[in-house]
Chain A
């Protein structure tokens, strides 16, 4: 798998966070990016577009990231959902991993971290 083969869904209610993520990912060489502003939209878009990788916030209106994660995983057990949240308590982390999150990161994450997360994902996929 290569960077330009990725289709990434960014789900965060903050337009600023989405823009920052998008700018970094595009600069990395992947321009197939979809955005969702709440958990429900993320579920709907996931079912329609089957992104390869999802970045998911937790605290959002309509449906939280944890609820969305749960619905996405029950729809597609192999979904790769990475939680990126300001509220990274141990319980939230355990809960998300138990439901089936691919990984979990505490905000804020910077450009270097985000690049590393994506590159690590690609490396892992290529090893399989």
Chain B
């Protein structure tokens, strides 16, 4: 999940564009992380030193690592350590952006260091993906207004992102969330959570993204909008809300209930309350997730 939030950071700080980021995300799975990005990430070399080594490599037939060692920028044991280290997703994303020329080494160096500082992360390993740092990153990213009505928003959204990774895929970037009162949608699935915590949840997107989302979840290749597509997105929401209820029951001892999901076409949601719009940019299109503490008026 760190990869997606690092991507979002790059986007929000206007270091790369939405299109560049999605393109890099798509190719990052096949991208081999090279020594430069690894050394910058580990803090063993600066971007300037990497660029210098690259310039020299253009004139001599030697490996980057050997040149860097010869110049005294790095030791050979550090080179071996980096090349045999586990490659985490955000490094592949960084490398893909550098390879495409959307970001240079200096920009990668600055953004990864700033991001780590802001989130108080010293060294990122695969384990960071699972540990409590992710919760902190979530809280800082979404920063929900504390109120009794929104008390479980963080839990809900953090589970939502884990379920997106589990059931849809990890090729997405979370975009900046915003507070909304009204929302217009061409196509939307909704579900109500009731009990000691009330919430209205909606998933909205274009028909094309809706079909892609349904295909991913059902593991099918849907080509047009039909009842199976609607049922698939509906079931994804139902599963997310069900698992959320299970977690809240286990962790807080609060029992929640779910209403059956509904599909709507071309509608306007009005009077949303404590409502957040959480857009997520997938490689197949953008999906809006909405959480509100009260049922809206549906027109």
Chain A residues within CB distance 8 Å of chain B:
13-17, 19-20, 59-61, 85-91, 106-108
Contact partners of A13 in chain B: CB under 8 A:
260
**B267 CB to closest chain A CB, in angstroms?**
19
Q: Which of A15, A86, A90 has the most CB of B within 10 A?
A: A86
**Cα-based distance from A81 to B189 in the complex (angstroms):** 29
**A63 CB to closest chain B CB, in angstroms?**
11
Chain B 108-137, CB-CB to A under 8 Å as 1, else 0, gives 000000000000000000000000000000
Contact partners of A14 in chain B: CB under 8 A:
231, 234-235, 238
**A89 with B249, Cβ < 8 A, contacts A16-B235, A59-B259 known:** yes
Report the nearest A residue to B258, measured CB to CB: A59
Contact partners of A15 in chain B: CB under 8 A:
227-228, 231
Q: Pick 21 A–B contacts, CB within 8 A, sort by A.
A: A14-B231, A14-B234, A16-B232, A16-B235, A17-B235, A59-B242, A59-B260, A86-B239, A86-B258, A87-B241, A87-B245, A87-B246, A89-B245, A89-B249, A89-B250, A89-B255, A89-B256, A90-B250, A91-B249, A107-B239, A108-B239
Interface flag for B243 (CB, 8 Å): yes
**Cα-based distance from A108 to B242 in the complex (angstroms):** 10
Interface flag for B218 (CB, 8 Å): yes
Chain B 243-257, CB-CB to A under 8 Å as 1, else 0, gives 101100110000111
Report the nearest A residue to B260, measured CB to CB: A61
The secondary-structure label for the interface of chain B is: helix
Chain B residues within CB distance 8 Å of chain A:
167, 218, 227-228, 231-232, 234-235, 238-239, 241-243, 245-246, 249-250, 255-260
**B39 CB to closest chain A CB, in angstroms?**
42
| Interface contact A86-B238, CB-CB below 8 Å | yes
Known: A19-B228, A86-B242, A87-B246. 7 other contacts (CB 8 A): A16-B231, A59-B260, A86-B241, A89-B249, A89-B255, A89-B256, A107-B242
Report the nearest A residue to B238, measured CB to CB: A86
| Interface contact B231-A86, CB-CB below 8 Å | no
**Cα-based distance from A90 to B250 in the complex (angstroms):** 8
**Cα-based distance from A20 to B241 in the complex (angstroms):** 21
Report the nearest A residue to B167, measured CB to CB: A108
**Cα-based distance from A81 to B85 in the complex (angstroms):** 51
**A128 CB to closest chain B CB, in angstroms?**
33
| Interface contact B258-A17, CB-CB below 8 Å | no
Contact partners of B234 in chain A: CB under 8 A:
14
**A124 CB to closest chain B CB, in angstroms?**
27
Contact partners of B232 in chain A: CB under 8 A:
16
